[in-house]
Amino acid sequence: MTEVAPRIGVLVFPGSNDDRDAAWALSALGANPQLLWHGEEELPALDAVVLPGGFSYGDYLRCGAIARFSPAMRAVSAFAEEGGLVLGICNGFQILCEAGLLPGVLRPNASLEFVCADVPVVVERTDTPFTSRCTEGQSLTIPVKHGEGCYHAPADLDETHVLFRYAPGANPNGSERDIAGVVSEAGNVCGLMPHPEHAVDPLLGSADGGLVLASLVDAARERLYARA
């Protein structure tokens, strides 16, 4: 029996450049991805939303600061507030932080250098829609590629928000507490700097990112069944 493909929206901003890779990866993992232009004021019926990597609006002012006010982001905020699943990758993570959907903010890398490398990322929690296929403490090899990925946490950030952490000694950007990705208090919004969509096949060097995206596809499929 073939499983039904959940509909996952992938937002496209001016300057997004990983939107098609994200859509390709989601499709390969059994989802039905839909590219959505940032000017859309309403979202179609979706089971999850992915904000892809790139340089939305040229990263002017601060990364994600302009994109968060796009019409589609208003719709994504409403979607998230209703409990909808939202995953932000790299620039998508920056946008979610600027939008206040996730705590903290991403700053220029401590090295001031653009970093492009496969990094070991440790899964801190598996009880989320983004990590259900992982095991606790599992180390995933996933590439990063960013100039502004240094996570600055609010002083009172609870450890329960930390979903992914760079392995000890492998922090590529100076992020506080080695944080690579966080999850919202309600657990339905996640952002991370590493790019799971670039690690979904051994041919790409690693298939570990597929565990993250497949977890999202599983959770989106459950939403789809609940909706039906």
Partner 1 sequence: MKATVLVRPKVGILDPQGEAVESSLRQLGFPVEEARIGRVIDLDLDAASPDAARREIEQMCERLLANPLIESYEIEVQA
Among 19, 21, 59, 98, which residue interacts with partner 1 (rule: CB under 8 A)?
98
| Least Å from the CB of residue 148 to partner 1 | 10
What secondary structure does DSSP assign to 5-45, as a single string? PPEEEEEE-TTB-SHHHHHHHHHHTT-EEEEEETT-SS--S
Question: Which is nearer to partner 1, 65 or 122 (by Cβ)?
Answer: 65
SS3 214: helix
CB 46 within 8 A of CB 86: no
Binding mask 139-178 for partner 1 (x = CB under 8 A): -----------x-x-x-------------------x----
Classify burial at 142, counting beta carbons within 10 Å of its beta carbon; exposed 0-12, middle 13-18, buried 19 or more. Answer: buried
Which one, of 90, 32, 39, lies nearest residue 64 by Cα? Answer: 90
Binding mask 100-129 for partner 1 (x = CB under 8 A): ----xx-xxxxxx-----------------
Which one, of 60, 22, 30, lies nearest residue 215 by Cα? Answer: 30
Structure tokens given for 150: 């240094």
* 62 touches partner 1 (CB under 8 A): yes
Question: Which is nearer to partner 1, 66 or 75 (by Cβ)?
Answer: 66
The set of residues, in sequence order, having a beta carbon less than 8 Å from that of 176 and lying 6+ positions away, is 150, 151, 152, 153
Question: Which is nearer to partner 1, 56 or 109 (by Cβ)?
Answer: 109
Paired strand residues for 11: 36
| Least Å from the CB of residue 62 to partner 1 | 6
Binding mask 42-61 for partner 1 (x = CB under 8 A): -------------------x
Binding-site size, partner 1 (CB under 8 A): 18
Question: Which is nearer to partner 1, 109 or 206 (by Cβ)?
Answer: 109
Q: Which residues bind partner 1 (CB under 8 A)?
A: 61-62, 65-66, 69, 98, 104-105, 107-112, 150, 152, 154, 174
